[in-house]
């Protein structure tokens, strides 16, 4: 069985949705998990309690450099960094406000840059793994998704270039691209309500965080030692 024994994983936005699924799967594979959250402390505490004594919660805004440094100081040495935290909303290009643009780019793009820079400062000698959560939407060009999807396209480029830069240090960098997935964030926006998004999976249902967690475990593990710079679609065939 794939093991993350003796590894510490920091999962940004690990308190809810896909991040929680990844945190739970990594803990089940033996990792110590650091569950980052933005503002909802209660959800983070519930997630940590459900995972058990392999998990701790750490508050911090990924778009704030001082918060990111404090997060890593609290976490101790991190082997596996999962950039999962993101915010999203959908609107035509003409309706994108400067405020919403900055909110999404600060969290979804600046955030991973800051966490990756901090990870590098303390990078493990034995190498490590960075996993960025993007979206299958990068390849589907859905009208109304330009702002959000462009943040994930930026994260996709960051993934591929970081893989080239960090390879010599033994650090692999990959991305997971989920399709429509049942999470708190998706429910709040009602994006799954019509059933249209779920129908785009060849299995006729939306994904769940439990579908994504094992993919992250694999990418973080020694079994994936020859895989870097890749985007793995975990989307039930949604393309």
Ligand X SMILES: NC(=O)c1ccc[n+]([C@@H]2O[C@H](COP(=O)([O-])OP(=O)(O)OC[C@H]3O[C@@H](n4cnc5c(N)ncnc54)[C@H](OP(=O)(O)O)[C@@H]3O)[C@@H](O)[C@H]2O)c1
Nearer to ligand X, 5 or 39 (CB): 39
Question: How many residues are present in the chain?
Answer: 239
Out of 185, 214, 227, 231, name the contact with ligand X by CB under 6 A: 185
Nearer to ligand X, 105 or 218 (CB): 105
Helical packing angle, 111-121 and 146-166, nearest 10°: 20
How far is 127 from 226, CA to CA, in rounded Å? 13
3-class SS letters over 84-119 = CCCCCCCCCHHHCCHHHHHHHHHHHHHHHHHHHHHH
Question: Nearest 5 degrees, angle CA 186-CA 35-CA 60?
Answer: 85
Nearer to ligand X, 39 or 99 (CB): 39
133 interacts with ligand X by CB under 6 A: yes
Q: Which residues contact 31 (CB under 8 A, 6 or more apart)?
A: 4, 5, 7, 8, 9, 54, 79, 80, 220
99 interacts with ligand X by CB under 6 A: no
Distance of CA 43 to the CA centre of its chain: 17
Strands 128-133 and 80-83: parallel
Question: Three-class SS of residue 164?
Answer: helix
Number of residues that bind ligand X (CB under 6 A): 30
13 interacts with ligand X by CB under 6 A: yes
Out of 25, 48, 55, 62, name the contact with ligand X by CB under 6 A: 62
Contact positions with ligand X (CB under 6 A) in 72-91: 84-88
Task: Supply the minimum distance, in Å, between the C-beta of residue 212 and ligand X.
Answer: 8
236 interacts with ligand X by CB under 6 A: no
Out of 8, 12, 129, 156, name the contact with ligand X by CB under 6 A: 12
Nearer to ligand X, 170 or 182 (CB): 182
Question: Known catalytic residue: 119?
Answer: no
Q: Which stretch binds ligand X (CB under 6 A): 25-33, 61-69, 117-125, 167-175?
A: 61-69
37 interacts with ligand X by CB under 6 A: yes
List the catalytic residues: 148
């Amino acid at each position: 069985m794939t093991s993350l024994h003796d590894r510490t994983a920091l999962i940004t936005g690990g308190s809810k949705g896909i991040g929680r699924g990844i945190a739970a799967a990594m803990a089940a594979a033996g990792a110590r998990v650091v569950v980052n959250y933005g503002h909802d402390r209660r959800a983070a505490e519930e997630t940590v309690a459900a995972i058990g004594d392999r998990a701790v919660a750490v508050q911090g805004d990924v778009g704030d450099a001082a918060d990111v440094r404090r997060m890593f100081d609290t976490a101790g040495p991190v082997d596996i960094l999962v950039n999962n935290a993101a915010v999203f909303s959908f609107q035509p290009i003409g309706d994108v406000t400067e405020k919403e643009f900055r909110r999404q780019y600060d969290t979804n793009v600046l955030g991973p840059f800051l966490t990756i820079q901090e990870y590098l400062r303390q990078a493990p000698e034995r190498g490590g793994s960075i996993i960025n959560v993007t979206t299958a939407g990068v390849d589907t060009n859905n009208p109304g998704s330009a702002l959000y999807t462009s943040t994930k396209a930026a994260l996709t480029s960051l993934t591929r270039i970081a893989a080239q830069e960090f390879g010599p240090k033994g650090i692999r960098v990959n991305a997971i691209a989920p399709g429509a997935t049942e999470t708190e964030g998706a429910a709040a926006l009602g994006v799954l309500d019509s059933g249209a998004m779920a129908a785009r999976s060849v299995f006729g249902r939306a994904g769940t965080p439990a579908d994504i967690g094992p993919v992250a475990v694999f990418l973080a593990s020694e079994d994936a030692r020859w895989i870097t710079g890749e985007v793995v679609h975990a989307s039930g065939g949604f393309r």
